Amino acid sequence: MDLFADDTTLQSIPIDDGELWFQQRLALDLAPDEVMRRLQAETDWRAEEIQVWGKWHMQPRLSAWHGEARYRYSGKTFDPLPFTPLQLHIKQAVERETGRRFNSVLLNYYRDERDSMGFHADDERELGPDPAVASVSFGAPRTFILKHRTLPKTIKLALGDGCLLLMAGALQQHWLHGINKERTPRGPRINLTFRMIV
């Protein structure tokens, strides 16, 4: 039996200094393109400003924050909107697959290949030590890059429509992750990162 042909179970990706898990297709009762359409339409997308090295910039993507807890991110405090029924549905599927619990979600909307996410770690104090962060993607595939903070190691993963990625253990202490702009035209992509704010 070829275990790696199975795209509906969460599989461990070997990585130094942390845990990384990937599932090609998160089982939802909804088709990914239907979820994509609804997330595009139902979300109150905002263009936020963020502080980078003391200077304010527009984020190169749209975002929204939902859930049960306030959150500080890139120098800003987000007051969450309540979870929508669709977000709760996705959250349940993520909790079932990962065996973890989450109380917040950050949604990111990459409108095209020019949108991106700078390298960072999800290591805010509110997430506690060794946080589990579960990321679900819809729409156009984009390359998710992990760079080790001190070793010359890089891992690249194509995050396609309907996939689930779980970062856990000491990963945020040792690695940064981000999504670069691309030159190849890309359609829209929506990513949801579920977190547990303690």
Ligand X SMILES: O=C(O)CCC(=O)C(=O)O
Q: Which is nearer to ligand X, 17 or 123 (CB)?
A: 123
CB 102 within 8 A of CB 192: no
Which residues, 146 to 165, sit near ligand X by CB under 6 A? 159
Task: Choose the one of ligand X, Fe ion, none that binds residue 159, judging by a C-beta under 5 to 8 angstroms depending on kind.
Answer: ligand X
Task: Choose the one of Fe ion, ligand X, none that binds residue 106, judging by a C-beta under 5 to 8 angstroms depending on kind.
Answer: ligand X
Candidates 65, 138, 191, 196; binder of ligand X (CB under 6 A) is: 191
Candidates 24, 84, 135, 172; binder of ligand X (CB under 6 A) is: 135
Burial of 153 (0-12, 13-18, 19+ CB in 10 A): middle
Q: Which of 112, 110, 109, 116 is nearest to 186 (CA)?
A: 112
Which residues, 100 to 129, sit near ligand X by CB under 6 A? 106, 108, 117, 122
Task: Choose the one of Fe ion, ligand X, none that binds residue 28, judging by a C-beta under 5 to 8 angstroms depending on kind.
Answer: none
Q: Which is nearer to ligand X, 5 or 58 (CB)?
A: 58
Q: Is residue 43 at the binding interface for ligand X, with CB under 6 A as the rule?
A: no
DSSP 9-39: S-EEPP-TTSEEEEESS---SS-HHHHHHHH
The edge-to-edge listing of strands for the beta sheet with 11-12 is 11-12, 19-23, 164-168, 133-139, 189-195, 104-110, 62-67
Kindly compute the dihedral angle of the four CA atoms of residues 72, 196, 41, 163, in this order, to the nearest 10 degrees: 120
Q: Is residue 179 at the binding interface for ligand X, with CB under 6 A as the rule?
A: yes
Residues of this chain that interact with Fe ion (CB under 5 A) are: 122
Kindly compute the dihedral angle of the four CA atoms of residues 110, 186, 21, 76, in this order, to the nearest 10 degrees: -20
Closest CB 107 distance from ligand X, rounded Å? 8
CA distances from 62 to 69, 112, 196 (A): 20, 11, 22
Task: Choose the one of Fe ion, ligand X, none that binds residue 144, judging by a C-beta under 5 to 8 angstroms depending on kind.
Answer: ligand X
Q: Is residue 177 at the binding interface for ligand X, with CB under 6 A as the rule?
A: yes
Q: Is residue 134 at the binding interface for ligand X, with CB under 6 A as the rule?
A: no
Q: Which residue is nearest to ligand X (CB)?
A: 191
63: amino acid identity, one letter: S
* Partners of 94 in the β-ladder: none
Q: Please report, as ranges, the residues that interact with ligand X according to CB under 6 A.
A: 106, 108, 117, 122, 135, 137, 144, 159, 177, 179, 191, 193
